[in-house]
Amino acid sequence: MRRTMVAGNWKMHGTRASVAELITGLSALTVPSGVDVAVFPSFLHIGQAIDGLKGQAIAVGAQNVAVQPEQGALTGEVASSQLADAGCTLVLVGHSERRQLIGESDEVLIRKFAAAQAQGLTPVLCVGETLEQRQAEQTLEVVGRQLGSVIEALGIEVFARAVIAYEPVWAIGTGLTATPQQAQDVHAAIRAQLAAENAEVAQGARLLYGGSVKAANAVELFGMPDIDGGLIGGASLNADEFGAIIRAAGN
């Protein structure tokens, strides 16, 4: 039985004061026993979140990681060994904003994925198509290629210690959400792709949906058989809304 996960991607948001307020709100939440909850603050606020959430059933992850696990001369980057030392347990890899706006290639994100696992961090691999690709009916091909490049480079076994997030680019921050069936169709294809390599890994892999998830649509999305939770952007910045999404995942 897969445990549900609800993860909050804070992106480039937050000040010390707003993060403190959010932590206070999150600390008051009751996390249902079958749900894993994580938040991904900016690097600046990771320490504050780890200290502030000590003793809570909420893990802290990073939004990015360097391509090498060891410390070194790599100005502006943060190594997975440093993240592990700080108390992080997860890291986002291949978010569409990094692929599209920063130009992160498959090659780079594969190295980041491996660097995360080398230090025991769980990578959350993000995949998803653009609106143009969906309209051209290339969704499964695009997502299949994004996932396939990691499988090809690192092997299927790495997905026994990773999470996959399907995030259609057109649904991120737009208020447009994939319908539960649209999301389920892609999740089923992802699981089938994993199963073609290793049925056990496929069965255990947690597949999150991301893209304008709110309390109002979470129940329906999380009710689909291959959707094991969500990666939440905007709505994770509000503890009450995020709490309602967590409760939806517990149902």
Catalytic residues: 95, 167
Contact residue for ligand PGA among 41, 168, 211, 229 (CB under 6 A): 211
Tell me the window of 14-22, 103-111, 183-191, 205-213 that interacts with ligand PGA (CB under 6 A).
Answer: 205-213
**How far is it, in rounded angstroms, from Cα 241 to Cα 236?**
7
Q: Does 213 bind ligand PGA (CB under 6 A)?
A: yes
With binding defined as CB under 6 A, does residue 38 bind ligand PGA?
no
d(CA 63, CA 123): 10
Q: How would you classify the pairing of strands 35-40 and 90-93?
A: unpaired
Cβ distance to ligand PGA smaller for residue 26 or 231: 231
Shortest distance, CB of residue 45 to ligand PGA, whole angstroms?
17
Residue in 189, 123, 126 with CA at minimum distance from that of residue 158: 123
SS3 62: strand
Distance CA 53, CA 182 (A): 35
Residues 5 and 35 sit within 8 Å (Cβ to Cβ): yes
Q: Is 232 in the site for ligand PGA (CB under 6 A)?
A: yes
Binding-residue total with ligand PGA (CB under 6 A): 13
When asked if residue 217 is in the footprint of ligand PGA (CB under 6 A), the reply is no
Residues 6+ apart with CB under 8 A from 158: 113, 114, 117, 150
The position carrying tokens 């690192």 is 154
Nearer to ligand PGA, 190 or 235 (CB): 235
The neighbour count for residue 98, using CB atoms within 10 Å, is 18
Report the alpha-carbon distance of residue 179 to residue 36 in Å, rounded. Answer: 24
What single DSSP character describes residue 212? S
Taking CB under 6 A as the binding criterion, the range among 75-83, 113-121, 136-144, 207-215 that sits at the site for ligand PGA is 207-215
If the CB atoms of residues 52 and 210 are measured against ligand PGA, the closer one turns out to be 210
Question: At 58, which amino acid appears?
Answer: I
| Residues of span 74-93 touching ligand PGA by CB under 6 A | none
Q: Does 234 bind ligand PGA (CB under 6 A)?
A: yes
Among 44, 173, 192, 223, binds ligand PGA (CB under 6 A): 173
Minimum CB separation from ligand PGA for residue 211, in Å? 5
Q: Which of 167, 226, 228, 241 touches ligand PGA (CB under 6 A)?
A: 167
Least Å from the CB of residue 213 to ligand PGA: 5
